[in-house]
Amino acid sequence: MLEDQDSEYAELVSAAVKLVTLPPKHPYRDNVGRAFVWKCLGRGPGMTLRTDEKSHNYAWLGGSASGSGPAPPEMTEAFQAFSAFRADSNIEGHCTSLKTRGAKIIREAKALSSEARMLAERTTLSGDCDYTKLE
């Protein structure tokens, strides 16, 4: 199940990057695609840009860049491309599938964790074992 999740996530990122309306060599092209995927999966806003004459702050996927003066043109272009990004039905389908499978993975991991904790707190072991039999 985890391998399926990883594989589908990689497919989704690749498909999203292909739809980004920036030139192929743009330094933030991949960031825009990945940021959209994170937003689509409910992992935050994806990308933000705050800029004025005195300073700018650009954030994406947990990373950020800031500085004095207005944002560089590449950052502004990336944010505009992110804001204008529209997913097709293929991308929306992948997002739904990843969210559904991700929720199932979380539920199953929590159940396994609870079971492991319960078994670890037991004072006796169940089952047969040659090393625990009295002779």
Provide the pLDDT for residue 99.
95
Provide the pLDDT for residue 2.
87
Threshold 0.95, pTM exceeds: no
Provide the pLDDT for residue 135.
62
Residue 126 in domain: no
Say whether pLDDT at 124 is over 80: no
Say how far apart CA 27 and CA 78 lie, in whole Å.
9
Residue 124 in domain: no
Provide the pLDDT for residue 94.
94
- Please name the residue that has the structure tokens 């933000």: 48
pLDDT in tens, 9-58: 999 999 999 999 999 999 999 999 999 999 999 988 999 999 888 999 98
- Domain range for residue 82? 2-110
Say whether pLDDT at 125 is over 90: no
Residue 10 in domain: yes
Residue 117 in domain: no
Six-digit token string for 65: 């860049």
Burial of 94-105, coded b for 16+ CB within 10 Å and e otherwise, reads bbeebeebeeee
What is the count of structural domains for the chain? Answer: 1
Residue 132 in domain: no
3-state secondary structure string across 13-82: HHHHHHHCCCCCCCCCHHHHHHHHHHHHCCCCCCEEEEECCCEEEEEECCEEEEEECCCCHHHHHHHHHH
pLDDT in tens, 61-117: 878 888 999 999 999 999 999 999 999 999 999 999 999 999 999 999 999 999 888
Provide the pLDDT for residue 121.
83
Q: Compute φ and ψ for 67, nearest 5 degrees.
A: -175, 180
Task: Provide CB contacts within 8 A for 86, sequence distance 6+.
Answer: 19
Provide the pLDDT for residue 134.
65
